[in-house]
Amino acid sequence: MVNMKSSRQNTTFGFTLLELMVAISLGLIVMAALAGLFKAGMNSAMLLTQRAETQQNMRAAIDLMVKDISMAGAGLPSGGIQLPTGPNSSASLIGCDQAGTCHLPANTYPNSNYMFGVIPGYSNGVEANAVVVAAPPPAINDSITSIYCDYNFPLWEYDVTFPVPGNGSSITLTPDAAYIPAPLPIAAAGGIQVGDLIMLSNNVGTAVGEVTGMTPTSIQFADLDPLNFNQSGAGTNNISAISNGANTIAYRLFAVSYYLTVPGNGQTPRLMRQVNGLSPVPVADDIINLQFSYDIYDATAIPPALHANEPNPIGAGDSPNLMQKINLVIMAQSMLNHGNKSQNLYLATSVSARNMAFRNRYQ
């Protein structure tokens, strides 16, 4: 008997080395593509975050500046105020605080100590003339000072008298009974502070003094004040010159200056706001460029014309009293860095100088 054994063939399923290498290569290619897409998405998200954060920062700064600039000249006499002049007088100061620190490189009132509603500060916008490294060349940074009456604190509801006629070192304030309810106390919240500017007007004229002290019923204007307004020995245009007048009315002025500062310790440039003789406060970080230009009516031109986008009106011989519009350009650097990369963005706007002197050139 023939015994026949059936043979069984063993079949093994798997990948060859070549197939395995091809599969790994394809997988790596797919993973690299996915990683590239993920990185591109992350970069796009970071760029959008940087842009949104920077725009929000700039808009907050511009909104505050527009509010102050739009009020420029409100409540001031038409054409502005002549500050102390004549023998024994010297220029009053802008952008200085009670510690005697002046934050603007050029810090005196222009045109022989004259207070306009807007005081342009061409190329005068960085404290101590510091270098803003991130600013694009040519790096021109401006400042601006807007001056207007404070209508929120009713100082005009007081009857103002001079304790010693001919002496402008102090005034006495008595609540006027015609106003009901009675006016807010001088020392109320948001009231008068040392370093504030007070405009006094009567039948003799108008003068401005800096508050150096106060009581519940009086305000002092001592000489040698930090802003150099209280010049009792000046020839004219000081408080003493109007202290013999009658029916004196008082208003608090806001002289608001905007400029850039470059803090130490590697911090980025910062937009600052400084009011009267008070300490400056930060408005926005990472502001690297601040520029202003002005549309000014020129009545001396033949025919009369509007000078548009004038960066330095006082230097060009134009009067700030005839400003029609203030053009503002601000540049910021994103606070968030991604791979040591940041974005620089511009934001521009224009503000109508509604309270400044106006002349209709179409008449």
User: What is the DSSP track for 43-83?
Assistant: HHHHHHHHHHHHHHHHHHHHHHHHHHHHTTTTTSPTT-EE-
Helices marked H in 87-237: 110-113
Q: Is residue 358 part of a domain?
A: no
pLDDT digits (tens, 9 = 90+) for 113-172: 999 999 999 999 999 999 998 888 888 999 999 999 999 999 999 999 999 888 999 999
Instruction: Quote the tokens at residue 6.
Output: 């059936």
Q: Is residue 101 part of a domain?
A: yes
Q: How many domains does the chain have?
A: 1
Give the residue, 46 or 226, on which the prediction is more confident.
226
Q: Is residue 359 part of a domain?
A: no
Q: Which of 346, 115, 131, 136 is nearest to 260 (CA)?
A: 131
- How far is 172 from 165, CA to CA, in rounded Å? 12
3-class DSSP state of 206: strand
Q: Is the pLDDT of residue 7 over 70?
A: no
Q: How far apart are the first and last CA of the chain?
A: 136
Model pTM? 0.85
Q: Is residue 124 part of a domain?
A: yes
Q: Is residue 10 part of a domain?
A: no
Alpha carbon distances (Å) from 88 to 197, 232, 238: 21, 9, 11
3-class DSSP state of 8: coil
The predicted structure's pLDDT at residue 353: 81
Which residues constitute the domain of residue 254? 51-352
Q: Is the pLDDT of residue 52 over 70?
A: no
The predicted structure's pLDDT at residue 4: 53
Q: Is residue 360 part of a domain?
A: no
In this prediction, residue 85 has a pLDDT band, given cuts at 50, 70 and 90, of very high
Q: Is residue 21 part of a domain?
A: no
Strand partners, 281: 273
Q: Is residue 168 part of a domain?
A: yes
In this prediction, residue 93 has a pLDDT band, given cuts at 50, 70 and 90, of very high
The predicted structure's pLDDT at residue 130: 92
Q: Which of 13-27, 41-55, 176-190, 338-352 is predicted with the least confidence, judged by mean pLDDT?
A: 41-55
The predicted structure's pLDDT at residue 302: 76
Q: Which of 297, 300, 301 is nearest to 313 (CA)?
A: 297
**Percent share of the chain, pLDDT over 70:** 87
pLDDT digits (tens, 9 = 90+) for 218-276: 999 999 999 999 999 999 999 999 999 999 999 999 999 999 999 887 678 999 999 99
Instruction: Name the residue with tokens 């490189």.
Output: 105
Instruction: Quote the tokens at residue 163.
Output: 């304790």
